[in-house]
A and B are shown apart, each in its own frame.
Chain A
Amino acid sequence: GNSVTQMEGPVTLSEEAFLTINCTYTATGYPSLFWYVQYPGEGLQLLLKATKADDKGSNKGFEATYRKETTSFHLEKGSVQVSDSAVYFCALTLGGTSYGKLTFGQGTILTVHP
C-alpha cells in the first residue's frame, strides 16, 4: 500500500536556524507530493507541492524537491522564524480513480524560540 514516513519530532530550533524535516514515501505508481502546515488552532493549509520527479515546490521561504530515486520529499528552510511554529505534514496522492485522496505522514511539530 501507499505510505508516508516523516522524521520523528518534535523539532525545537532557535530563530534563524536552518530547518530540515525528512519525508520518505512508498507508493504504487507516480504520486504527487505535498507539504501541509497546521498553525495552532487552525485546519491544514497547503504549503507547497510537486507533481513529478525533480520538481521543486517552494513557498514562504520553504522548499522541497521531489526525488524519485530516493523516494523523498524533504522540507527545508534556510532561516526559520517564530511564526513558523506549527505542525508540518507530508502527504501524497495518486492519479487514476483516487479522487485526490491524501495519504499523510505522522506530522512533525516545529517550535521556534526567539
Chain B
Amino acid sequence: DVKVTQSSRYLVKRTGEKVFLECVQDMDHENMFWYRQDPGLGLRLIYFSYDVKMKEKGDIPEGYSVSREKKERFSLILESASTNQTSMYLCASSFGRGTHHFGPGTRLTVT
C-alpha cells in the first residue's frame, strides 16, 4: 500500500514565523502535490512537482514556496506565516496521471 506521511497533524505558529510542512511518500511516485482545504472552497492546488528539483505553481502559490531535493520528500514553506494561511494542508503523490494518494493532513493555525 502507498503511504504518504506528513510531519505534523496539528501545528500552531505565530504571525511572521517561517513554517515548514514536510511530506514523504514511499512508492517512488514522480508527482507530488500540496493542496490546502478550506470549508466551502474544496481543495486548491498550491504547488506541485513532477520530478526532483522541478516544481510548478498551482492556483494559489502566493505566500508559499516548495522544495524537492529528493524524490520521496516534498516540503511546503510559508516564508512569513499570516493568519489567512490558517488552513488544512494536504499532501498527495501520484504516478503519471494516476490516482492521487493523500496524506492525513496538517491543520495549521497561525495566531
Contact = CB atoms under 8 A, between A and B. Distances in A.
Interface of A: 4, 6, 32, 34, 36, 41-46, 49, 89, 91, 93, 95, 98-107
B4 to A, nearest CB: 7
A99 B55 CA distance: 11
B61 interface: no
Contacts of A100: 31, 94, 96-98, 100
A102 B53 CA distance: 21
Contacts of A103: 45
Contacts of B43: 44, 89, 91, 102, 104, 107
B84 interface: no
Contact of A102 (B37, B40, B41, B45): B45
Which 6 pairs between the two chains have the least Cβ-Cβ distance? A43-B102, A100-B97, A104-B42, A104-B43, A44-B102, A106-B42
A53 B35 CA distance: 28
A6 B44 CA distance: 15
A46 B58 CA distance: 21
B103 A99 contact: no
